[in-house]
Amino acid sequence: MHPLRSLILAAAGNDAIRRLVATAPVSRDVVRRFVAGDRTADAIGVTRDLVASGRSVTLDHLGEDVTDAQQADLNVRAYLELLDALHAEGLSARAEVSVKLSAVGQKLDERVALANASRVCAAAEQCGTTVTLDMEDHTTTDSTLRVLAELRRTWPSTGAVLQSYLRRTLDDCVALADTRVRLVKGAYDEPESVAFRGHEVDLGYVRCVNALFAGDGYPMFATHDPRLVRIVAERARWYDRKPGTYEYQMLFGVRPDEQRRLAREGETVRVYVPYGSQWYGYLMRRLAERPANTTFFARALVSY
Ligand code: FAD
């Protein structure tokens, strides 16, 4: 991993840096570039605009690594409120939700996370939409896939996320190729014993694209990488996949012109929209991905 990336991801876990960044007033403006806002109403407003522009949405209520049951319950309630609002606004056909199991109790007990995620899946079904389980660091992969398998017994459309930087992932793609899977490169600082580095991550991504297209499932290719977007398009033609039998996904605030271009060409494009006050970990992962974002952030802090 690039040293700057490791440094930023290490800073993400440092409480003193967290306090410094979170209390700098300028942070709010910088955060707005990547985060829809604090409230459910902010998330709904951004969703409405994206849907009007021909894009679909997956919404993430920010929060992770929860260590008390009360906070896990509050996070579930935030999703229930969001799902109600999406339904009331007539947006649920184009908007699903993304849930991190660590936000709903995975660190307390896997069974707590399963029970809480089930509440979100049941509400999503009631509202005519579905859930994708975000994937976190490699120590949680097996647990997350176990919870996913349980959820799919009742809600088969629940989405998985697989990370091409993990050495294990091609096997996971083959195993899950008949289901709904989001493929990403991976955003955590992983040891070399479990994760590829550099170009190998991209090669792994392409191998996984092939494995997912070879199945009967619904692959969701989440990347901003222009080369990988081109390769997905070429592979879709090779596998005779029509738009609508797979989709592209990108993050809110990242390459919006490319999102619109793909949508104009008839592709399904889903934008991952985070909202809520717990934006710190999310923002640090975005900064770690791209030095240009870090410079933008540092400049904004300095010029304040
Ligand atoms: P990178 O290797 O970061 O970038 C490759 C190239 O893409 C760059 O060289 C540049 O040309 C272009 N690019 C990238 N960013 C920008 C930018 N800001 N502006 C302009 N060009 C840019 N990770 C997880 O670990 N778990 C998850 O559950 C998860 N869910 C995700 C959901 C979605 C919808 C997306 C898009 C990402 C998700 N991620 C998740 C993050 C993912 O793992 C990567 O960290 C992130 O997408 C960056 O990788 P990349 O494929 O975009 O390519």
- Residues above pLDDT 90, as percent of the chain: 78
Cα–Cα distance between 144 and 149 in angstroms, integer? 9
Helices (H), 110-225: 110-126, 141-154, 169-176, 199-214
Note if 290 is an active site residue. no
Residue 38 has pLDDT above 70, yes or no: yes
Mutate to test the pocket of ligand 1, among 172, 223, 294 (most ligand atoms within 8 A of CB): 223
- Residues above pLDDT 70, as percent of the chain: 87
Please give the order of strands across the beta sheet that includes 56-61: 131-133, 95-99, 56-61, 269-275, 247-251, 218-222, 180-184, 160-163
Which of ligand 1's atoms lies nearest the C-alpha of 293?
A: 18
pLDDT of residue 33: 86
Residue 7 has pLDDT above 80, yes or no: no
Which of ligand 1's atoms lies nearest the C-alpha of 223?
A: 51
Exactly one of 55, 94, 182, 286 is catalytic; name it: 182
Note if 15 is an active site residue. no
- Among residues 80, 97, 95, the alpha carbon closest in space to that of 49 is found at 95
Instruction: Please give the CATH architecture assigned to the domain spanning 35-278.
Output: Alpha-Beta Barrel (3.20)
Residue 1 has pLDDT above 80, yes or no: no
Hey, where are the domains in the chain? Answer: 35-278
Residue 110 has pLDDT above 70, yes or no: yes
Cβ-based neighbour number of residue 68 at 10 Å = 11
Higher pLDDT: 303 or 250? It is 250
Q: What is the DSSP letter of 125?
A: H
0.90 surpassed by pTM: yes
pLDDT of residue 133: 98
Cα separations (Å) of 48 from 2, 62, 147, 255, 259? Answer: 37, 19, 31, 19, 16
68 C-alpha to center of ligand 1: Å? 30
pLDDT digits (tens, 9 = 90+) for 204-254: 999 999 999 999 999 999 999 999 999 999 999 999 999 999 999 999 999
Phi, psi for 162 (deg, rounded to 5): -125, 145
